[in-house]
Chain A
Amino acid sequence: MAEGETRRMPPPRGQNFRGVPKQKVKKGTVTRLLRAITQGNWLRLMVVAVCIIVTAAASVAASLFLKTLINDYILPLVKQQTADYRPLFWALCKMAAIYLAGVAAVYLQNRTMAVVAQGVLKKIRNEMFAHMQTLPIKYFDTHTHGDVMSHYTNDADTLRQMISQTVPQTLSSFVTVVAVFVSMVATSWHLTIFVVLFIAFMFFVTGKVAGQSGKYFVKQQSALGDVNGYIEEMMNGQKVVKVFCREDRVKEAFDKKNDALCENTTQANRFANNLGPINNNLGHLQYVLVAILGGLMATRGIGGLNLGAVAAFMQLSRSFVMPINQFSQQLNAVVMALAGAERIFDLMDAAPESDDGYVTLVNAKTENGALTETDEHTGHWAWKHPHGDGTVTYTPLMGEVRLFDVDFAYVEGKTVLHDISLYAEPGQKVAFVGATGAGKTTITNLINRFYDIADGKIRYDGININKIKKNDLRRSLGIVLQDVNLFTGTVKENIRYGNLDATDEQIIDAAKKANAHGFISRLPQGYDTMLTSNGANLSQGQRQLISIARAAVADPPVMILDEATSSIDTRTEALVQKGMDALMKGRTVFVIAHRLSTVQNADVIMVLDHGRIIERGTHDQLIAQGGTYAKLYQGAFELE
């Protein structure tokens, strides 16, 4: 099943996959959202505003017309000897014109609002993604993929609902309510007072019921989270369930949770379902009461009311209640959408990676013995280092990396690296060995500045890496990770990811170097074979070979191989190893490995333990020392 299917249907509103929706909305979210909506849309929103007024005016005119129709046209007509329908005809024509304007306004309003809503969403979406690209790795460590994904799905969806539906509806409700209210007062202020009192009563009742319903909705949410969590866990462990014949026990536990969910859902929906009939019938009751009251007043001549006025007022009172009801039912959607907007804004507010670097990587050529900058692709690179006094120096890119007494903590107070010092000469192969959590990957993360450390402790070709622009620093470093990440697209596109300007020949060369050309040629469409869901149609070894080819086409002077072969069996590894050996030639390489066989021929091996380098030397030196490395080598020690 395709991965995309997972999120095909956005979950129903008000029901996040897990947990209870956050109810409190931060201050400023509303104004910020409004700013996002209005920005660049002023003209369109003006059009919408005009349309809303026209629409509301037309609908008020429609309710008022009944009174005019009966009192000013029909009743006089009845009294006439020979009925003259001409005045009525012209009045209807006039109304038709007003109605047509209303209809046109509604259409224009909906159309414009669609563009506004979708435009705002696109803008928010794009900004969110663009900002996400600038976030430091730390952000991705501390937020689950599911949570981040839901900003693009659930949160964006609630926002779409709100901008395209709730906002214009609320606006038009508001205009209608005001216009209708004025007309009601004009028709009969006595009856208006009654209607206002009645609506206050309605609000009171609605609030009571909604409160009950809300209480159960919270319970329902947590029951739903419970059931969904259980489903997720059991589906993941389904094969284990089968192996242990635990089907019956699992069913039993599930049924219990499922029943609890059913109970809470029933209660929550029961109260929610009551809202409609209650509001409707209170509306009806109000209608009847107005009729009785109005009738009494008309027959007794109180307040100067007549039959037509009562009929019109009844229409008006309905037009008054309906938008108010609609709005109160939308309130929940508004709260949900604001919570979603807040989460989106949180992502957008997350601090981006800081980058104060000013040393850049440029193409270079040697002219008259001096290094100069050039636009040509010379295959030679240099660090361009502007100085405070306006001069610029060029340092050739060699791939020399030095660390001086580096300490590092992901979380303050929990130091994971202590006093790490090392020198990697250009072309050297440096290996890190140690248990999980010893700090091997952390060191490489510091070199490519996925995480930042105090100034001046890491130097690249003699330059403090904090002075190097991050993007340029990373371009000079190639990386192959244990978990291969390929992207949906052809094999060729995936390799080209390493160097967007690479020609097809360069791609094939890189693949050959990585020992990947052979199997790629045997794929159904060769280099144009589509890879889906992270290359599920390839074996693990093949995926790793493609990721090595990807690093090869980037042709960086420094390579980091982080456990690149540890999840591959030893025979496949031999194949991958050949590709890696070719790739490592002539580069500074940092190798992290679980299997000692991969690191034996390194120029220097660092044995790490709890963030400290406890041994360093060549393979032979370390074996001779008879320390941890030697024990590891003899298999008498645990690496976890």
Chain B
Amino acid sequence: MIRRLSQCIREYKLSSILTPLFVSLEVVMEVLIPYYMGRLLDYGVTVGDMQSIFKTGGLLVVFCVLSLTFGVLSGKNAATASAGFARNVRHDMFHNVQAFSFSNIDRFSVASLVTRLTTDVTNLQNAYQMIIRIAVRSPLMLIFSLIMAFRVNHRLSLIFLCVLPFLAAGLAFIVSHAHPIFERVFRTYDVLNRVVSENLHGIRVVKAFVREAHEKEKFNTVSESIFRDFVSAEKLLALNAPLMQFSSYATMLLLSWFGAHLIVQSGNVPEAGMTTGSLVSLIAYSMQILGTLMMLSMIFVMLTMSKASAQRICEVLEEDSDLHNPARPVFAVKDGSVSFDGVSFSYAGDAENPCLRDATFTIESGQTVGILGATGAGKSTLVQLIPRLYDATAGTVCVGGVNVRDYDLDTLRSAVAMVLQKNVLFSGTIKENLRWGNEEATDEELVEACRLAQADEFIRTFPDGYDTHIEQGGTNVSGGQKQRLCIARALLKKPKILILDDSTSAVDTKTDALIRRAFRQAIPDTTRIIIAQRVSSVEHADKILVLEDGRIDAIGTHEELLETCEIYKEVYASQTKGGAR
């Protein structure tokens, strides 16, 4: 995990190294300062030597300026390094997601990808900055302070060696016991969020069934368990500060007692050993030493918390696309013919439940093919194999007489336009959205495509026409309008094969018929594959595939199927009896 993440440092390696370097120098200064403070007292104030006071004082001011400079430099480098690191992590993740195949995307939900790319990265960025700044600073401070303390008086400094392990053990005990409780709290928080989220989504159900009291009870139970866990964790953490204070007060008392003895022995003469100035320095060091330990335990807690984020980021970074370009790809699609030979498919992790079994059929270039079947019959699965959005588990899929696995992916997908069932428009103008199909398309071409898709008419009713701004997700156009815009966008690719996956479900039958007529007249050579719920959408097709539970139940024309296919007859009957819709 750490290795993969450290690959994201790249051009920020220098800053990442300079930061701890400057931090170390800053620490050196901060350790020297109390030492000279002692000297200032001993050699200056005590003996009333003003020259010495100014000399040592001047030196101290220089140290302060240096310390400040190093501090500012380390802060600047830390900011550069951590922001840059986050940038690279985000960049790598986003680029890797772009390389994902559909099955990779299915493995992560959209919501989880968004969290990983946003909140988790920010967590990691903060953790990184903390590592290169404070995680270096604290142990260094500890070591340097100890060294200095020993230099001031090695016998008294032995006190630190007694107190430190005691404090460290105490802190370790608290952290190790509090951490599991916090983990539990986070899980309970998930439950709380779930209850709120389900309540929000189902608020009409809650109100319609008058279940407000029931929901409150559900919420209060979770809320109560968070309260209990949090309090028990925080009661443990409440030991932190007293433990710290106890250690530092104990150290002070011990230093005072033994220090007094040593001072008396030396007669408070610097040359003879211990002085009051040394005692002041030692007490200052004791604060620093114990403080750093406290910091270390805090850093430890925060790092373990961001570990989860790091893990989730790595999952995205290390996810390999399971679709690859072949070694010697084919860069041209000859025509729009399609053939399936014994094709089966099952989604990853669900091998026992194939969504498509042993499909064999051929579509000639320029034909119109309808696909009919119940939800979950495998219609979408079948067509998604054509532009190789997924790889078939068994059998071969050929486009233009060539196995789809042999094509360059971009070449294949440019030749096969697909209007997905769950389609998306992006924020931007209608024009910008349409140009997703073809960036170089002229305005005339855009209008032409929209005419075919029966979208031109309604676009012209908008005050801004083709420059109308589409909200994220296309929420400001109706379902039927969105579908027609998506069809126009796909048409602009001038594909050899056009696949409509239930893309006219929200369009009325008349417009639906107009779209089909426009296709027949304007793009007769393009193979059209249409998935539909309505028999009327497919009855004039050259060929209709009827799917049932992942199998092709029947293939034939409308008339043939009415004769031979029970399912088709049933669907046709249910739709005509109940009107054309």
Contacts and interface: CB of A to CB of B under 8 A. Distances in A.
Interface stretch (B358-366, B552-560, B573-581): B573-581
A243 B98 contact: no
B264 A235 contact: no
Contacts of A258: 87, 90-91, 94
Interface stretch (B148-156, B292-300, B337-345, B506-514): B506-514
B444 interface: no
Contacts of A639: 508
B123 interface: yes
A474 B426 CA distance: 40
B242 A110 contact: yes
B574 A571 contact: yes
Contacts of B198: 485, 487-488, 534
A637 B190 contact: no
A243 B202 contact: no
A281 B234 contact: no
A553 B251 CA distance: 71
Interface string B236-279: 01111110011001001100110111011001100000001001
A243 B276 contact: no
Contacts of B480: 638, 640
Contact of A487 (B113, B202, B410): B202
Contacts of B410: 245
A149 B46 contact: no
Given A92-B256, A110-B242, A270 B79 contact: yes
Interface string A118-138: 110110011001101110010
A300 B25 CA distance: 37
B75 A149 contact: no
Interface in A594-616: 594-598, 600
Interface in B30-84: 30, 33, 37, 40-41, 44-46, 48, 50, 53-54, 57, 60-61, 63-65, 67-68, 70-72, 74-76, 78-80, 82-84
A638 B201 CA distance: 30
B190 A74 contact: no
Contact of A269 (B79, B193, B374): B79
A190 interface: no
Nearest to A93: B253
B113 to A, nearest CB: 5
A244 B436 contact: yes
B105 A238 contact: yes
Interface in A224-278: 224, 227-229, 231-247, 249-251, 254-255, 258-259, 261-263, 265-270, 272-274, 276-278
A113 B202 CA distance: 37
A636 B580 CA distance: 9
A70 B259 CA distance: 10
B205 A485 contact: yes
Nearest to A17: B118
Nearest to A472: B210
B536 interface: yes
B533 interface: yes
B509 A635 contact: yes
Interface stretch (B138-146, B398-406, B417-425): B417-425
A635 B87 contact: no
B280 interface: yes
A568 to B, nearest CB: 7
Interface string A287-299: 1100110111011
Nearest to A448: B208
B86 interface: yes
Interface in B15-29: 26
A332 interface: no
Interface string A451-470: 00000000000000000000
Contacts of B54: 292
A474 B212 CA distance: 12
Contact of A235 (B67, B117, B256): B117
Contact of B276 (A17, A70, A261, A287): A70
Contacts of B375: 539-541, 568-569, 572
Interface string A557-601: 000000000001111101000000000000000000011111010
A471 B214 CA distance: 13
Contact of B506 (A276, A287, A571, A640): A640
A145 B82 contact: no
Nearest to B54: A292
Nearest to B427: A233
Contacts of A20: none
Interface stretch (A101-109, A177-185, A366-374, A517-525): A101-109
Interface string B126-141: 1001000100000000
A285 interface: yes
A214 to B, nearest CB: 15
Given A277-B68, A569-B533, A633-B580, A129 B196 contact: yes
Contact of B220 (A126, A292, A540): A126
Contact of A104 (B41, B98, B242, B439): B242
A571 B436 contact: no
B227 interface: yes
A281 B68 contact: yes
A226 B577 CA distance: 52
A46 interface: no
B209 A240 contact: no
Contact of B112 (A1, A262, A272): A1
A145 B201 contact: yes
A8 interface: yes
B61 A288 contact: yes
Contacts of A66: 280, 283
Contacts of A88: 256-257, 260
A1 B109 contact: yes
Contact of B264 (A11, A12, A74, A164): A74
Contact of B578 (A233, A294, A600): A600
B478 A436 contact: yes
Contact of B117 (A231, A267, A568): A231
Nearest to A233: B472
Contact of B98 (A241, A280, A498): A241
A475 interface: yes
B46 to A, nearest CB: 6
A1 B61 contact: no
Interface stretch (A29-37, A75-83, A376-384): A75-83
A311 interface: yes
A133 B506 contact: no
B111 interface: yes
B424 A236 contact: yes
A640 B478 contact: yes
Contacts of A471: 210
Given A9-B123, A70-B279, A231 B193 contact: no
A266 B80 contact: yes
A263 B79 CA distance: 10
B571 interface: yes
A398 interface: no
A409 interface: no
A302 interface: no
B200 A266 contact: no
Nearest to B242: A107
Contacts of A111: 235, 238
Contacts of A103: 242, 245-246, 249
B61 A236 contact: no
A446 interface: no
A34 to B, nearest CB: 21
Given A74-B268, A137-B204, A292-B40, 11 more contacts: A9-B186, A115-B231, A129-B196, A137-B203, A244-B413, A284-B30, A287-B33, A288-B37, A570-B533, A600-B579, A638-B507
Give the top 8 A-B pairs by smallest Cβ distance, nearest first: A597-B578, A277-B71, A273-B75, A635-B580, A110-B238, A485-B202, A4-B190, A114-B234
20 contacts: A1-B109, A6-B193, A7-B115, A8-B308, A12-B126, A122-B223, A133-B206, A231-B114, A238-B97, A239-B424, A243-B417, A244-B493, A258-B87, A266-B84, A278-B68, A307-B46, A479-B209, A554-B209, A597-B575, A637-B508
